[in-house]
């Protein structure tokens, strides 16, 4: 499986995701944002970080970079797209995913391991997880408070497009287990065609027992499936 | 020709920064304070003599980059 990681000025999880992909036997390439052509890819990853220093709005400038036109074309032709953290913010700024990520409700940058629940395991990104499985995954963001209009929220619920929700260790989804004020505890969403996933938590940080845990591994093995 | 663009969060969108500023001002003893919403301000100069064309250009800039229409409103003014 061929993967491509797009690198923006200010990306800082690009190496981490590359290590994760290579560990999982993806043939990975890094592509600088000024490129105008993408190598043949089955998966394109927009990594975490602070592209362009979060100027204007998180992901706003990266969302208009040269390579993004190619990413949009690839997405429209069915290529799998994964946006993690800043990558999720970029996906909403390009319009590939609807909604937006507001500043955390408590106005603080949050860096901690939180629990998320697999809401839909019938996707290319999550088939190796069990439905309602609870994962412990790191979040590290200042703007992770997902917001969308009520019409789109209905659609997300009706079409089962919410991939992950924040929960506590027992799986309860409520205000107490919501770290950032996100609408309905949403941690990750899919587009209608389900070939695009945007998520705030960092699965690439959870691939090794020595430094964290292995809760992120199945996201990558799902993609290989 | 010079324009100003003011970008504010829509009415229903929570503005935690504005709230904190508001609470601080209240704590400082500023009475009669009802509500504060924080926004962004751009000053844009364009090379155009026709105001309508220039405003159209600024409007396009707003829609395409400066404003996130899901959560923000904007106002364009000639200055």
In tens, the pLDDT along B44-62 reads 999 999 999 999 999 999 9
Across chain A, mean pLDDT equals: 96
Across chain B, mean pLDDT equals: 94
Which tokens belong to A16?
Answer: 């981490």
What confidence score (pLDDT) does residue B15 get?
Answer: 87
Would an 8 Å CB–CB cutoff place A181 in contact with chain B?
Answer: yes
A202 a catalytic residue: yes
pLDDT in tens, B5-34: 999 999 888 888 899 899 999 999 998 999
What confidence score (pLDDT) does residue B31 get?
Answer: 85
Ordered by where they begin, the domains of chain B are 2-78 (3.30.1280.10)
Give all strands (DSSP E) within chain B, no chain letters. Answer: 2-9, 39-45, 72-78
Q: Which of B5, B24, B65 to mutate to test the interface with A (most CBs of A within 10 A)?
A: B65
Pick A2-224's CATH classification: 3.10.20.30, 3.40.50.880, 3.40.1170.10, 3.40.640.10.
3.40.50.880
Burial category of A18 from C-beta neighbours within 10 Å (exposed 0-12, middle 13-18, buried 19 and up): buried
Across A21-46, average pLDDT: 97
pLDDT in tens, A130-153: 999 999 999 999 999 999 999 999
Beta carbons within 8 Å of A184's beta carbon, 6+ residues apart = A153, A157, A162, A165, A173
Predicted complex ipTM exceeds 0.85: no
Across A166-193, average pLDDT: 97
A33 a catalytic residue: no
pLDDT in tens, A53-62: 999 999 999 9
* Chain-centre distance for alpha carbon A178: 17
Q: Are A165 and A117 in contact, with CB atoms under 8 Å apart?
A: yes
């Amino acid at each position: 499986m061929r993967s491509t990681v797009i690198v923006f000025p200010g990306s800082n999880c690009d190496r981490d995701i590359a290590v994760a992909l290579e560990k999982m036997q993806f043939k990975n390439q890094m592509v600088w944002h000024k490129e105008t052509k993408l190598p043949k890819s089955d998966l394109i990853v927009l990594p975490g970080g602070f592209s362009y220093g979060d100027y204007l709005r998180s992901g706003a400038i990266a969302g208009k970079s040269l390579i993004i036109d190619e990413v949009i074309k690839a997405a429209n032709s069915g290529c799998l797209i994964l946006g993690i953290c800043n990558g999720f913010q970029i996906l909403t700024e390009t319009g590939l995913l609807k909604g937006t990520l507001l500043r955390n409700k408590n106005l603080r940058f949050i860096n901690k391991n939180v629990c998320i629940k697999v809401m839909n395991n019938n996707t290319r990104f999550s088939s190796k997880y069990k439905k309602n499985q609870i994962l412990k995954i790191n979040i590290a963001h200042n703007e992770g408070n997902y917001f969308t209009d009520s019409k789109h929220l209905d659609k997300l619920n009706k079409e089962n497009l919410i991939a992950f929700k924040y929960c506590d260790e027992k799986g309860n989804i409520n205000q107490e287990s919501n770290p950032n004020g996100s609408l309905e505890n949403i941690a990750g969403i899919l587009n209608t065609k389900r070939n695009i996933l945007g998520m705030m938590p960092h699965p690439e940080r959870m691939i090794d027992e020595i430094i964290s845990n292995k809760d992120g591994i199945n996201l990558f093995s799902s993609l290989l499936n | 020709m010079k324009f100003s663009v003011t970008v504010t969060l829509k009415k229903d969108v929570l503005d935690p920064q504005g709230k904190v500023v508001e609470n601080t001002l209240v704590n400082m003893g500023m009475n009669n304070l009802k509500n504060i919403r924080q926004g962004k301000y751009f000053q844009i100069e364009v090379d155009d003599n026709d105001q309508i064309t220039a405003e159209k250009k600024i409007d396009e800039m707003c829609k395409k980059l400066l404003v996130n229409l899901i959560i923000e409103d904007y106002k364009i003014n000639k200055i």
